[in-house]
Chain A
């Protein structure tokens, strides 16, 4: 199954992605659990391409979930290849209906979010992670084992798909910060 992810490229979707506006909190779509999707549905395929396109034009963006473009669905794109905290990386990909099946080595870290542009927060996330999901366009099931920053980013995006923000997981009353540096 891991080969399916290695072979997967956004071109597989066969449609051009559109750059969509990113919604910010307190837009209610961000608090709504996303629906499971049919990975072969042309609308889901288009959404997958749109997420990649929007992620690519957004400076510093390493992942983008469907609720962040106003669609309440369990789809997100990810690409942490350029991030300095990345160890393992699976390149650029889009996942549908992703589930965490194993999580360990919990570590705190500072997170920001395009949908909460003015705040960051300290959040504990698993540093070792296994996720199962299906790929848009092909419908192939994949199992992804990863670590470090890719693991953190996956958990952040899976949370978006469940209607949760990093604000729902911050470590304490003094673990939310006004953002000082913008990319």
Chain B
């Protein structure tokens, strides 16, 4: 079965999700994992679907993006590998005065420490830049990574916190 990675982004308006989901359903594309949010007035969708071909989905999305407002991309991706997460979940918070390269510098330190970012959100509000990331860390690296992050944060003039993510199993 085809697995497709689809992105749609454009100025926010009523009905984008309904239009895109309707077009996908119309060609038998089964929407599996997705994330959809509004970023600074743009509505952004990242979707994984299974079912039809790239060409069929592109054609189905043409009417949705016909007015030029929405930009859609579709590509075929290999099916998900059976990889169990081996890391321990951590949460990273960064906040400080906005400047170029905060995400680049902080995530480079995380990658160099063997950390895998699984979710990340940034927000810019006035002069304040905030980054919150969920990170899988190999066992035993958290202390060294926290030290390296503190050095990077000091150079950037931002505050950083790395702490274990809690998961309550009920």
Q: Hey, which bits of chain A sit against chain B, CB under 8 A? A: 24-26, 28, 31, 116, 118-119, 124, 163-165, 167-176, 178
A172 proximity list for chain B (CB < 8 A): 91, 119, 132, 134, 165
Report the bound CA distance from A164 to B159 in whole Å.
9
Say which one of B1-9, B24-32, B121-129 lies at the interface with A. Answer: B121-129
| Chain A residues, Cβ within 8 Å of B127 | 26
**What chain B residues lie within 8 Å of A178 (beta carbons)?**
123, 125
Bound Cα distance A171, B157 (Å): 24
Stretch of B42-50, B61-69, B92-100, B105-113 with 4 or more beta carbons under 8 angstroms from chain A: B92-100
**B120 on the A face (CB < 8 A):** yes
Residue of B nearest to A26 (CB): B97
Q: Contact at A173–B128, with CB atoms within 8 Å?
A: no
Contacts of B54 in A (CB 8 A): none
Binary interface encoding of chain B residues 155-170 relative to chain A, with 1 for a CB under 8 A from any of its CBs, else 0: 0011101010110000
**Interface residue ranges of B48-99 to A (CB < 8 Å):** 91, 93, 95-98
* B residues at A contact (CB < 8 Å): 91, 93, 95-98, 119-121, 123, 125-130, 132-134, 157-159, 161, 163, 165-166
In the complex, the answer to whether B125 meets A26 with C-beta atoms within 8 Å is no
| B94 CB to nearest A CB, Å | 9
Contact present for A116 and B128 (CB under 8 Å): yes
Closest-by-CB residue of A relative to B121 is A173
> Which residue on chain B has the smallest CB distance to residue A174?
B121
Closest residue of A by beta carbon distance from B134: A173
Please report the C-alpha to C-alpha distance between residue A174 and residue B123 in the assembled complex, in whole angstroms: 11
Instruction: Give the complex CA separation of A65 and B98 in angstroms.
Output: 24
Tell me which residues across on chain B come within 8 A of A175, comparing CB atoms: 132
A-B contact pairs, 18 of them (CB 8 A): A25-B128, A26-B127, A26-B158, A31-B159, A118-B125, A118-B126, A119-B123, A119-B130, A165-B159, A168-B159, A169-B163, A171-B91, A172-B91, A172-B165, A173-B91, A173-B133, A173-B134, A176-B121
CB <8 Å contact, B119 and A174: yes
Inter-chain CA distance A13–B62, complex, in Å, is 71
Instruction: List B contacts of A24 (CB < 8 A).
Output: 126, 128
Q: 15 more A-B contacts (CB under 8 A) besides A118-B126, A167-B93?
A: A25-B95, A26-B95, A26-B97, A26-B98, A118-B128, A119-B125, A119-B128, A124-B166, A167-B95, A167-B130, A169-B163, A172-B91, A173-B132, A174-B121, A176-B132
Contact A173 B96 (CB under 8 A): no
Complex A-B, nearest 8 residue pairs according to Cβ-Cβ distance, in ascending order: A118-B125, A173-B119, A168-B161, A26-B97, A31-B159, A173-B121, A26-B96, A25-B128
**Cβ of A2 to closest chain B Cβ, rounded Å:** 32
